[in-house]
Copies of this chain bind each other. A is one copy, B any other.
């Protein structure tokens, strides 16, 4: 007999996109009474080309801000919830609460449009949680909506990019003995003034992790639409192997480089609370999924867990004889800071260095300004910006012999004539990072996959 565990489960937007999906979720919750806390996203896309409820709410907010007629939008939003409510025979009187909340959103007092936007967006999750609690009750389960305010989820005063305040965890822990299933909306909390502030987009994963840490859950199940996390992007590599266990650090590095299965900010509460995260598929709940813990795999078949690439980086190359690195770096960082720019890496040679940044931060004008200011401040012998890098990552806790793996990786890349724009590798023994041209990225991922995941 399995021991009793406390589980927090989170369902993504595609898992709750329509009544058919919601009934799968109901079955998942019914199947395991250890699933005590249910965190829900807003209804997502039902089909390719569909609009997510969150995006409809953003349209709604903009219409209100611009004093336009929002009726066509609110009709769509209401219809999304109504379809689910009707399928589960939620009484019309109960549904009226959802309809009137949607229509009433413009009537609240908002400090400014940022707060208005945050509140509108948050209602995708909020109303889905209200509705889903009713659905579970209608299905005979003892379930109740729990608002983040009541739960004690307090966040920083940043309306659309908030972070949890650590005091929240003690408050949330008081709910751990709850005998009911608690349905909690993802994506938002309240600041100390009681205003709604959302996390960054996709932040329902974060709410789930915060609740899991707060109630001291044994496991945080994150239900989405993939059977597992794969060793490479299935859109690039044909039929990549599933990784059934990885460490938090591996997940974090892969998230950075484009593995978007699990929001990387959501890892932090899980790490802090040492809560096992399991990624599972709502559509195939019996699949094993991917377990993410602090424990390394023992004798893994492959030393590497995943190969990822992330596009849209650029590099500012600066060369000057007798470069004084410290003085140089400080001047560069100051100039970047003045423009609110952040950088990712700064590999350096003897008389040169390259500042690797996300290029979506830059416009043509800003690039010109930046180059001009750097020339004035540094008087370099050479300076230029190269666009369209991808960062290519090879991640794995099993990299005890990194020299051999580096050799294997560079050999595989050389065979495919992938040009290395940069290699940047500190003392971390968990990953290798290469800068390559973006149009080489898919070839490179395939080459590394073939090298590190040979048929056994």
Q: What residues of chain A have their CB less than 8 Å away from a CB belonging to chain B?
A: 249, 252-253, 256-257, 264-265, 267-268, 271, 315, 317, 319, 321-322, 324-326, 329-330, 333, 336-337, 341-354, 386, 393, 401-404, 406-407, 410-411, 413-414, 417-428, 430-431, 433
Q: Is the CB of A423 within 8 A of B423?
A: yes
Q: Could you tell me the distance in whole angstroms from the C-beta of A288 to the nearest C-beta in chain B?
A: 26
Asked whether B343 lies within 8 Å of A346 as measured between CB atoms, the reply is: no
Cross-chain contact A426 with B267 (CB below 8 angstroms) = no
Please give the distance in Å from A434's CB to the nearest CB on chain B: 9
**A195 to B339 alpha-carbon distance, docked (Å):** 45
Interface pairs (13), CB distance under 8 Å: A267-B321, A268-B322, A271-B321, A317-B427, A349-B428, A350-B431, A352-B426, A353-B426, A406-B420, A407-B414, A422-B426, A422-B427, A423-B424
Interface of A, helix, strand, loop or mixed by DSSP: mixed
Report the minimal beta-carbon distance from A329 to chain B, rounded to whole angstroms: 6
Give chain B nearest CB distance to A362 CB in angstroms.
15
Known: A406-B410, A407-B411. A325 touches B345 (CB 8 A): yes
Closest residue of chain B to A391, judged by CB?
A: B350
Chain B residues whose CB sits within 8 angstroms of the CB of A315 once the complex forms:
426-427
In the assembled complex, which residues on chain B have CB atoms less than 8 Å from the CB atom of A403?
Answer: 410, 413-414, 417-420
Chain B residues near A418 (CB-CB < 8 A): 403
The listed residue (B265, B386, B426) touching A348 by CB distance below 8 A is: B426
CA distance A267 to B381 in the complex (A): 15
Specify the chain B residue showing the minimal Cβ separation from A393: B350
Report the minimum CB–CB distance from A417 to chain B (whole Å). Answer: 7
A75 CA / B403 CA spacing, docked (Å): 57
> Across the interface, do B354 and A252 meet the contact criterion of CB distance under 8 Å?
no
Contact A407 B410, beta carbon cutoff 8 Å: yes
For A341, the chain B residues whose CB sits under 8 A away are: 326
Bound state CA distance, A410 and B349, in angstroms? 18
Which residue of B is nearest A321, CB measured? Answer: B268
- Give Cα distance in the complex from A349 to B268, angstroms: 17
Q: Which residues of B contact A426 (CB under 8 A)?
A: 315, 317, 347-349, 352-354, 422
Is there contact, CB below 8 Å, between B342 and A333? no
Asked if B350 contacts A427 (CB within 8 A), the reply is: no
Q: Which chain B residues lie closer than 8 Å to A393 at the CB level?
A: 350
Cα separation A244 to B305 with both chains bound (whole Å): 47
B351 and A326 within 8 A (CB): no
Query: What are the 8 A-B residue pairs with the smallest beta carbon separation, nearest first?
Result: A354-B426, A407-B410, A423-B425, A349-B428, A347-B426, A317-B427, A407-B411, A403-B414
Closest to A419 in B: B403
- A269 CB to nearest B CB, Å: 11
Chain B residue contacts of A256, Cβ below 8 A: 350
Please state if A424 and B347 are interface contacts (CB–CB under 8 Å): yes
Q: In the complex, which residues of chain B have a beta carbon less than 8 angstroms from the beta carbon of A265?
A: 322
B residues in contact with A343, CB < 8 Å: 325-326
Q: Is the CB of A352 within 8 A of B321?
A: no
Known A-B contacts A422-B427, A424-B425, A427-B421; A346 and B346 likewise in contact (beta carbons under 8 Å): yes
Beyond A333-B333, A403-B418, A406-B414, whether A326 also contacts B342 by CB under 8 A is: yes
Q: Which residue of B lies closest to A401 (CB)?
A: B414
Find out whether the CB atom of B413 lies under 8 angstroms from the CB atom of A407. Answer: yes
Q: Considering residues A333, A341, A414, A424, which has the most beta carbons from chain B within 10 angstroms of its beta carbon?
A: A424
Given the complex of chains A and B, what is the CA–CA distance between A103 and B348 in angstroms?
A: 49
Specify which of B346, B348, B352, B402 is in contact with A329 (CB 8 Å cutoff): B346
What separation, in Å, do the CA atoms of A430 and B418 have in the docked complex?
18
